[in-house]
Amino acid sequence: MAKVKAAVKRKGRATTTGKARAVSVRGEGLEERQKRIREIIKILRKEYPQVKTALNYRTPFELLVATILAAQCTDERVNKVTPGLFQKYPTIESLARARQEELENDIRSTGFFRNKARNIIALSKKLVEEYQGKVPDSMEELVKLPGVARKTANIVLSSAFRKAEGIAVDTHVRRLTGRLGLSRQNDPNKIESDLMAIVPQEDWLDFNFLLVDHGRKVCQARKPLCPQCVINHLCPSFEKFARLFSGRK
């Protein structure tokens, strides 16, 4: 195996000189993994210094609805839908009174519009009837709302309330944690549990956003840009993908 050569910075991006060797996670213990994730977070924070959700919102309720709409849909598409949606339904009460078929048409372009409309109306009614028209700021209460699982609750808590009760696991986080050897699980809740055991709690708020930004810009689903990756020396998948997309066997 080729000798490791250090990554060097050029014009703010990481490149590698010669062949770089991926870190091996075979036999990696908990303390070693915790040390590696701290280094990953440190580097990603420098690379993405102003991370936040890509969803546009003004209130916790708008973020809650936007996050539900973002399931199996791009944030860009959701951001095109929500301005008109919240102009038509400016309050929780107005969405609680919305007609199912009409709301379906309002959000049709986000996909899975029937289930999304049903959940949005149901959670709006529940907020009005049981929470005095306010979005709760705890995981325990948020997951009681129709259509709200831990991922949605974590995004609302971290962005709207700056509270860390877990780590949101979306498609980007799921993909990157697998490639980085941080979890071998497929179930989002199990992945979250693995991450909570190794990610320092003070980093829970931003960890999802760091991986989302890196997943969109570098560690892409179809063709990861491994030679440009600032954490390729900490990634056990580096050599595999570097070979795959360079045409080498």
Q: Helix, strand, or coil here: 184?
A: coil
Give residue 203's identity as a one-letter amino acid code: D
Helix axes 188-198, 30-47, angle to 10 degrees: 90
Locate 242 and state its tokens: 């570097």
Chain centroid offset of residue 14 CA: 23
* Phi, psi torsion values for 110, nearest 5 degrees: -85, -5
> Is-catalytic flag, 75?
no
Of 9, 11, 134, 170, which is the active-site residue?
Answer: 170
Set 106, 116, 151, 213: catalytic member: 151
User: What are the backbone angles phi and psi of residue 78, rounded to the nearest 5°?
Assistant: -60, -40
| 194 a catalytic residue | no
Choose among 240, 228, 247: nearest CA to 22: 240
Residues assigned a catalytic role = 151, 170
